[in-house]
Amino acid sequence: MDPLQLYDLESYLFSTVQPRFHAQGWLSAFDFFCIVIWKANRAKSRVAARLLGRGYTDLDGAVRALTSALAQQPDARARLRLLMLDWGFLLPMASAILTVLYPDEFTVYDVRVCDALSGYHDLANKSDFEALWTGYEGLRRAVEQAAPAGLSLRDKDRWLWGRSFGQQLQQDIARAFGHHPG
């Protein structure tokens, strides 16, 4: 493992982890948890507990079972269904995992992107998978339409995230991050 690769985790995920997954049909726990940490570092212990709670004695075995099953799914809908219904992932983490592994089919469900689109905030709360899938397809189309043409789906997601981040920072600076002089 080259530590310099890990410094830019997103580049590592899309240039190393994603091709490795497609070449071997599964991921190691190390690569899988790089995705989890990229999305939400605070969630890694919870994800580990969820995986081990399925009867596995180690994370490599659990992750290999999960990602092997994922690689065998016939389409995007089945992949999301597997992560959410069979393995208990919530939409934000499931979409992050799938965005790394299938960046032409998935976009990350993220509050910043929802803010940039002025909608979809309640999508993760849908309990019916079919309604959630329909809503997620709408989100993906909205991401594709809201960002400049000519970008990949992944870059459209990044563009919207970056726009939201920039606008939020400008607002925070304008209000001095809530600090009142005196």
pLDDT at 48: 98
Tokens of 163: 């726009």
Question: Phi first, then psi: what are they for 161, rounded to 5°?
Answer: -60, -45
Portion of the chain with pLDDT greater than 70, in percent: 99
Write out the two tokens for 41: 């570092």
In Å, how far are 74, 98, 107, 143, 146 from 155, measured between CA atoms? Answer: 25, 15, 10, 10, 12
Distances (CA, A) of 62 to 17, 28, 46, 51, 159: 17, 9, 14, 6, 34
Mean pLDDT of 56-63: 97
To the nearest 10 degrees (0 to 180), the angle between helices 129-146 and 153-174 is 80
| Residue 137, helix vs strand vs coil | helix
Q: Is 151 left (phi over 0), alpha (psi -120 to 50) or beta?
A: beta
Against a cut of 0.85, is the pTM above it? Answer: yes
Cα gap 92→154, rounded to integer Å:
15
Q: What is the pLDDT of residue 182?
A: 62
Q: Which residue has the tokens 């339409």?
A: 145
Residue 179 has pLDDT above 90, yes or no: no
Asked whether residue 54 carries a pLDDT value surpassing 90, the answer given is yes
**pLDDT confidence of 2, banded at 50, 70, 90?**
confident
